Structure 1
C-alpha cells in the first residue's frame, strides 16, 4: 500500500499536466488562428477569414472552452457587421449573449458592449452607442479594444458634428502602439480625418490624410482601404479643379475594383458566409433536437409535460424576440427624438442669435444716422432763418422735407425694432387724454391744411379728466392713425372720435375711432395692411410715399394695452380704424393746478443755459439755434465738465446729451441732482434700442427731446420747462 500511493499520485499529476498542456495548446492554436483571421479581415479576404473563424470555433467547441468560443462568436459578429450583414451579425451576437450568462469574462463582456455599440451606430442611434462604449471602457483596459473604441467614437462624433472630439481621437490612433492592428487603425484614422477635412472645406489637409492612408494601405495590403483612399482622392482633386490628378486616381480606382472587388470574389465570400452560417444554425437546431429527445426519453417527465414545456419555451422565445425588437425600435425612436430635439435647440438658438444680431444692427444704424441727420435738419433750419434768396429757399425747403422724411423713417424702424425686441412696456401715469389728442390734432393741422382737408376732434366730455395711462404711446398711436388718414385724404374730412362706453368704480372702457373719406382700402389689401412695409400696392407707395410701418406700429402698441385695431373700409368712400381700451382713473375730487403756456408767452431773451454735447458740429448748431432766440450758453464737452460747470455757474436750464464718452448724460444728471434739485434738465438724445424714457426721468431729467428735433419742438420744450419752473416756484 505504501508503494502504490506514490505511484498513483504520479499518475494523477501526469494526467493533470496533460490536460493543462492540451488546454494551453488549444488556446495557442485558436490565438494563432485569430491572428490569421485578423490579417485576412484587413486584406478583405472574407472567405478565408470566415474559414479561419470556423476552425477556431471547432477547436473551442471540442475543448468546451466557452471563453474562446465567445471570442469567436464576437469576431463573427464584427466581420458580418463590417460587411453590412446586420442580421447575421445579430445572430452571432445573440449566441455570445447566451454564453456570457454562464461565463465570468470581463474582456468578453467589454467586447460584447463594443459590438452592441457598433450595432446601434449602424442603426443611427449615435447617443445610445456612445453610452455603450463608455460602459465597455470601464470593464477592460485591453489596448486593442480601447483603440477600436476610440475609432468608433470618432465616427460617432463625426456623425453628430463634434469634429474637435473626433479629430482628437483620430490623431491618437495615427500614432498608436497597438500590437495587433497598429497600421490598420492608423489607416482608418487617416481616412476619417480626410473625410472630416472635406466637410470642413480644408481640401489640402484632406489630401494629406488620404495619401497617408493610401500609403499605409498599399504597404500592408488593406484592399478596402486602398479603394476608399483612391475614391476620396479622386473626388477631392475633382472638387478643387485638378482634373488630371482626379483622372489618375479614378483610373486606379477602376482597376482595383476590377481586380479585388469582382463579382466572383463577392460570390465566393457570400457562399462561404452562407455555408458557415448554415452549419452553425444547423448545429443549434441539432442541439435543441438532442435536448428534446433527451427530455422525451426522460423517465422523470411525461410526454405531455415535455410537449407543454416545449410549447412554453417556444412562446417565451417568441415573446423575447418580440420584446427585443420592440426595445430596439424604442431605443432607436428615443435616440432619433433626442437627436431631433438637439437639432431643434440648435436651430432655435441660431434663430434667436440671428434676431438679436438683426435687432442690434438696426439699432446701431438708426442711432448713428441721427447724428449727421441732426446736422442736416439743424443747418437747414438756420439757413431758412437767414433770409435766403427765393431759388435758394426752394432748395432748402426740399432739403428740409427730405430730412424730415428720413427722420420719420428712422423713427419708425427704431420703434418696430424696440417692439420686436420686447423693449417696450406700457406706463400707468397721470394722463390728460383730451390734451394728448388735442396736441396730435394741432401738430398735424398744417398737413391737413396742405391737403385742404378738415381735421376734427370729437371728444366725449363725460370722460373723467384724471385718467391713468401712457401718454407717449397713445400719442404715437394717434400720430400714426391720423397721419395715415391725412396722407390718403384730399379735399375731404378726417375725424378723431373718442366716446365712453362704460364707467365703473375706478375703470372706464373707451371707444376710439379715426375716420376719413379718402381713397379707401380694398378687401384684398385689408388682409395685409397691418404687415410691415405694406401699403396696399406698389402704385400707392409710389404715389403717396411712406414706409408702410405706421399701422404695424399701431397694432403692436395696442397689443401692449391688450387692445386690437379694427378696420372698415370701402374703396372710394374712406376708411375707419377703431379700437376699445380700458383705462383706470382717479376718483378723488378736484384737479391739480396745470400750468399751460403758449409759445407767445416765452421770453427767451436773457436766458443762460448749459449745453452738454461731445459732437463739435452739434455744438455749433445748438448754439446758433439758441442765439436766434437771444439765449446765451456755455458748452461742456462731456459729463465731467458739465458737473463742474453746474457747480460753479448759475444756469436757467441744462441741455444734456445722453450718449457721451466717459460718464453718460444719465450719470451726469444724477450727480448734478445731488447739489441742485430744481434746475430744469432737458435730455437731448438720439434714442437707441436700449434707451428708455423712463430711465431718463428716473435719473432726474425734466423732459426729453429726441435728436434730430424740430426747432419749434426744441424751443417749446425749453420754454415750458424754464418758465413752468419759475411759475411753480413763485406760487
Structure 2
C-alpha cells in the first residue's frame, strides 16, 4: 500500500513539473511577444537605438526557441531601423531574411509587411521604381488574400505616391482613386498625412493650385497634430515645390527650411551614431551565427574526412573482391561460352527434330485421312452390295454368313471412325454443336445398334432413366452418343452371360443448365487397380488375349477426351471378377423455348410421289452400281457418268432434280466440276457423296458451291432426307 502511494506521489510530481514547464514556456513566449511590441513602439517614436537593441534581444531568443514568426517580425523591424538611417542595402538584406522566415511559417501578414517594406526602400529610398513597384503589387496580393482592407488602402497610397514621384500620374491615378473611395471606411490617423499629401501632388500635376494647396496644408496640419514628423517633412517638401512652381518663392523657402529642420531633428547625429552601434551589434550577432555555422560545417567536413578514409579502405577491399569476382566471371564466362556452343548445337538439332516431327505429324494426319478414304470407298461397296443381296434375295436375310459379313464391314467402319476421331481430337478440330435431342431415345438407339454384340455374349441390357430428366436437352448429340456407345460396347465386349446397366439422373440444376450424371455398370471381368489408369491411354487393352477381344484400344481414350470437351471427367470403380462402373456428369442446356425453336427449324422429310431425276457422278464401277441400285429402289430416275467432263456434257442437254457428286475422281475432281457447273448458272442442288471426312472438305465444298456432304458409307434415310429437303427448297425458290 505504501509503495502504491509513493508511485502515485511520483507521478503527481512529474505531472506538476510538466505543467510547470509548459506554463513557463507559454509565459516566456508571451514576454517575448511583448518585447517585440515594445521594440515596434520605440521605432514609431523614432528611438532607433532602443528599437534595435530590443529587436536584437527578441531575435536571439526567437532563434533559440525556433519561433520563426518572431524571427521574421524581428528581421522586419531591424530592416525598418536600417532604412531610417539610410543603410538601404542592409535594410533590403534584413527584409529579405524576414520574407524567408515568413514563407517558412506561411504567415501572409508578415509576407505582406516584408513586400511592402521592400517596395518602400526601392521606391522612396533608392528611387528604383521599376524594382520597387512589383514588391508593392505582391503586397497587394497578400492584402487581398488575408482580406485586410486597411493594409490594401495603405499599399495603394504608397503605390500612388511612388508613381507620382516618378511622374507617372497615369498609372498612379487608379490607386489614388481607390484610396479616395475607401479612405473614410478603412483609413486611420496614421496614414492621413500621406493621403492628403498625394492628393495635393495630383492636383499640382493637374495645375489646380487651390486644391493642391488645400490638401498639402491639411497634410502638414494633421502631421503636426499626430506627431507624424517624418511624413510632415515630406509634406513641407511637396508644398515648397508647389509654391516655387507658382512663384511664391519666399513661402517656398520657408517650407523648405522647415523640411530641413525636421529631417535634422529626426536624424540628429548622436541618435544615428548610437543606432549605428546598435546596428553593428545586430550585425555582429549575425556574423557570430554565421561563424557558428562555419564551425559546424568545418566539424562536419572533419567527420566526412574520417568517413572518406574509411570509405577508401572499404573501396580497396571491395575492389579486391571485385577483382576476384571478375576473375571468377571470366572463367565462368569461358565455361558458359563452351556450354552455350554445345547448347546451340543441341538446340539446332532439336529444331531439326521438331521440324521433322511436325512433318511426320502432318504426314500422319495425311496418311490417316488418305487411308480412311481408301478404306471407306470399298466398304461402301461391301455394305451396299450386302444390302442389295438382302433386298433381292429375301431368304438370305437370316443367313449367318451374310450377317457376319455385314457385321464385319460395320466393325471395320467403326475402327476407321475411331482412328479418325482420335486424330481430330489431337488436332483440336472438334467444336461442340448445339442440337435438341431426347436422351432416352438416343440411348435406346445405341442399345439397338449394339444388340448383335449383346446377343452374341448373351448379356442383358437394362436402362434406368430417372423421371427428373427433361424431355429434351440441347447439346452435342453426336459426341454424347460416341461416349455412351464406346463405354457400353466395352461393357458388352468384356461381359459374358451378365448384365449391363445404364442409368441417368439430374445431379443438380443451375439456371437453364442441367448437370446429368450417367452411370454405366457391368458384371464382367473387371479391371485391376494397377491397370485402371492405363485403359484411358491410346491403343491399350489391359489383359487382352489375341483370341479373346477385338478392337484398337481407342474407345476409352476417345471417351476421356470427349468428356474433356464437355468440361467433365470419367470416374472408374472396378473389382476383378465382379465388374466395372463408369460414372461421369455432362452439363446440358434445358430451355423449352430454345428447344421448340430448334425443332421448328429442323428440315422435315418432304417425300412426294414425284419421280426425281438424279445425275450420279462416280468413277468407281462398284460404287456406281450400289448408288444406282439404291436410287432406283426408291423410284429415282438415274443417269450415271464417270467423270466431271461427262457430267458437264450431260448437263448441257438435260436437266436434273439433284446431282450426287463424288469428290476424288480422275481428270477433274468434284470441287472443280461443281465450280464449272455453277459458272454456267445451273442452280441444281449438288450433294457430295464422298469417303473424305466432312470437316476436312467442308470449307472447300461451301466455296465450290456444294449444297451438302454425305460421307460414304452412309445412312440411307439421311441421304433421302437431304435429297427431298434440297429438291423441295429448290422447287419452292424457282
TM-score, normalising length: structure 2:
0.48
Tell me: higher relative CO, structure 1 or 2? Use CA pairs within 8 A at least 6 residues apart. 1
TM-score, normalising length: structure 1:
0.48
Larger Rg: 2
